[in-house]
Structure 1
Amino acid sequence: MNKKLWMALCASSVVTISGCATFAEMAGANTATLNAVATEGFNKTLTEARSKNTLDTSSSVYKRVNAAFVNLKPYADQMNQTGVKFNWQLAVLKSDQVNAYVAPGGKVVFYTGIVTKLNLTDAEIAAIMGHEMIHALEEHSKQKIGAQALTDLALGIGLSAAGAGQGAAAAAQLGSQIGVGLPYSRSLESRADEGGLMLMARAGYQPQAAITLWEKMQKHSGGSNSAFLSTHPSNAQRIQAMRENLPAAQAIYQQSAIKR
């Protein structure tokens, strides 16, 4: 099947998550490319934060967030099926924003406000960390970019089948949105919720904390979304789904406790 026909079929049909990722790769947004774009953006974030003295590398909040990052990282590496080894990096930014995000290749950004304003426990910090790591491990940004590219194609404003270079350029433009761009779909958020539960449990954190985290999020939002909630929608159905997955996570947590 030629590329033009494939794109036409994708644009006119319901596309699976894996299909969106495949389309993104066809447009030049492959794993290595996205990870490189994310690294460049992450480095710019670090440079800007240093220049503004907003990069936190020593506070108690930084130490707690970094501890969760370090503890979860080896288990995240075990789960990496992308075929590309991640260079995990963490930036903690001094800000009242209630926000955190991840970019491809394992570039995690936490704002101190999400810890201080929600009064998070260490396990609740790990719940956010696990959730974000799963987004990176399952390459949800690639799927998001593929879905957006398909939408643009269907509207006649995006990729062109005329040349691969043009497609790659469009994918690169979409890649600029990774990490802090368009919200993930509800299905991808659900996958990150479930995977994050299991990841934090493997690392020895009580998975119940993921539920208390989102309860705090809901209370904090007060009817208006924070920056974090704008891309991580919280609702009763979502919390209920986590409750349903909790027994499996608790079993993993108990096994990890025995090993430790």
Structure 2
Amino acid sequence: MNKKLVLSFCAASAITFSGCTTVADMAGADTATLNATAAQSYNQMVQDARNKGQLDTSSSTYKRINTVFQRLTPVANQMNQTGQPFSWQLAVLKSDQINAFVAPGGKVVFYTGIVNKLNLTDAEIAAIMGHEMVHALEEHAKSKIGAQALTNLALNIGLSAAGSNVGQLGAAAAQLGAQVGVGLPYSRNLESRADEGGLMLMARGGYNPQAAITLWEKMNRLEGGGGASFLSTHPSNSQRIAAMRENLPAAQAIYNQNRR
């Protein structure tokens, strides 16, 4: 069957996520290929940021984010059930944008603005990191891949949502997101899974999961002010916090067992 027709069928029909994942596999968007594509795009984005002096590799903010990243990576590797080892990498971009995202295969991108503007604690950074890592570990981007037309749509939406003030670096990040299927809002179900899994991941890494609640309370206070790109793809509301509170006892038990 023609590959484009297969993908178009997935995009146009009421197929479940698991069905679309199967079609994505048939179209060459299997885990290994998707991870390789993400790595290529990620490396290009990092090079562009470096050339423009927008790649942070030495500030105190970078060091804090990287410390959390290094601490959670071994835990994420233990949780990886994709059948493919991840080559986890972190890029910290000098930008006032309140944003963070992950690309398949473990390519994590943080904007300095999300830490500095929200005055995040290390545990709150871990809440974001864990959330994003679970998106990658559960291959949520793969679940959203249907057809090349959807990829182009993702690019258009990503660039449109970024607005005129995003600049070249923001466009590069949107390009990365579009190419590998991130950047668009995930379904409520996938967001809930990333919330719950992120709580458990950060707890296993020795970070108090209660910080996830304070993180999203900070996000909620920003919601009405605009300018928070992270909120466009990670809805923050009272229902989300309520769900986290329900999962908190289990996460707290894991934290208590793994406390350092």
Q: One-letter code of the match for 2:100? A: A
5+ residue gaps, structure 1: 153-172
CA–CA distance in structure 2, aligned partners of residues 221 and 179 of structure 1? 24
Number of the residue aligned with 2:102: 102
Number of the residue aligned with 2:129: 129
Number of the residue aligned with 1:197: 199
Q: CA 1:4 to 1:97, structure 2 compared with 1: closer, same or farther past 3 Å?
A: closer
Determine helix, strand or coil for the equivalent of 1:110: strand
CA–CA distance in structure 2, aligned partners of residues 35 and 45 of structure 1? 15
Task: Report the alpha carbon displacement of residue 45 of structure 1 after superposing the two structures with TM.
Answer: 1.1
Q: CA 1:174 to 1:148, structure 2 compared with 1: closer, same or farther past 3 Å?
A: farther
Number of the residue aligned with 1:161: none
Determine helix, strand or coil for the equivalent of 1:28: coil
Deviations 1:227-257 (A, max 9, x none): 1111111111111111111011001111112
Number of the residue aligned with 1:142: 142
Task: Report the alpha carbon displacement of residue 7 of structure 1 after superposing the two structures with TM.
Answer: 7.5
Is the contact between residue 38 and residue 180 of structure 2 (CA under 8 Å) also seen in structure 1? yes
Cα RMSD over matched residues? Answer: 2.8
CA–CA distance in structure 2, aligned partners of residues 220 and 110 of structure 1? 18
Q: CA 1:12 to 1:116, structure 2 compared with 1: closer, same or farther past 3 Å?
A: closer
When Rg is computed on C-alpha atoms for both structures, the one with the higher figure is 1
Deviations 1:186-226 (A, max 9, x none): 11111100000000000000001011101101112225361
Equivalent residues in 2 for 1:46-57, closer than 5 Å: 46-57=46-57
Q: CA 1:12 to 1:43, structure 2 compared with 1: closer, same or farther past 3 Å?
A: closer
Number of the residue aligned with 1:115: 115
CA–CA distance in structure 2, aligned partners of residues 23 and 11 of structure 1? 10
Q: CA 1:181 to 1:255, structure 2 compared with 1: closer, same or farther past 3 Å?
A: same
Determine helix, strand or coil for the equivalent of 1:84: coil
Is the contact between residue 145 and residue 175 of structure 1 (CA under 8 Å) also seen in structure 2? no
- Give the count of matched residue pairs: 238
Query: Normalized against structure 2, the TM-score is what?
Result: 0.83
Number of the residue aligned with 2:256: 254
Number of the residue aligned with 2:166: none
Number of the residue aligned with 1:184: 186
Q: CA 1:20 to 1:256, structure 2 compared with 1: closer, same or farther past 3 Å?
A: same
Determine helix, strand or coil for the equivalent of 1:146: coil
Task: Report the alpha carbon displacement of residue 22 of structure 1 after superposing the two structures with TM.
Answer: 1.4
Do structure 1's residue 83 and structure 2's residue 76 form an aligned pair?
A: no
CA–CA distance in structure 2, aligned partners of residues 108 and 7 of structure 1? 27
CA–CA distance in structure 1, aligned partners of residues 18 and 53 of structure 2? 41
Determine helix, strand or coil for the equivalent of 1:145: coil
CA–CA distance in structure 1, aligned partners of residues 8 and 113 of structure 2? 45
Task: Report the alpha carbon displacement of residue 182 of structure 1 after superposing the two structures with TM.
Answer: 1.8
Structure 1 runs of 4+ with >6 Å offset? 3-9, 147-150
CA–CA distance in structure 2, aligned partners of residues 47 and 21 of structure 1? 31
Number of the residue aligned with 2:40: 40
Determine helix, strand or coil for the equivalent of 2:102: strand
Determine helix, strand or coil for the equivalent of 1:90: strand
Q: CA 1:195 to 1:149, structure 2 compared with 1: closer, same or farther past 3 Å?
A: farther
Task: Report the alpha carbon displacement of residue 178 of structure 1 after superposing the two structures with TM.
Answer: 2.6
Equivalent residues in 2 for 1:54-69, closer than 5 Å: 54-69=54-69
CA–CA distance in structure 2, aligned partners of residues 108 and 191 of structure 1? 18
Q: CA 1:7 to 1:43, structure 2 compared with 1: closer, same or farther past 3 Å?
A: closer
Is the contact between residue 141 and residue 178 of structure 1 (CA under 8 Å) also seen in structure 2? yes
Task: Report the alpha carbon displacement of residue 20 of structure 1 after superposing the two structures with TM.
Answer: 2.3
CA–CA distance in structure 2, aligned partners of residues 251 and 225 of structure 1? 36
Is the contact between residue 22 and residue 146 of structure 1 (CA under 8 Å) also seen in structure 2? no
Is the contact between residue 97 and residue 227 of structure 2 (CA under 8 Å) also seen in structure 1? no
CA–CA distance in structure 1, aligned partners of residues 243 and 109 of structure 2? 26
Task: Report the alpha carbon displacement of residue 13 of structure 1 after superposing the two structures with TM.
Answer: 6.0
Number of the residue aligned with 2:31: 31
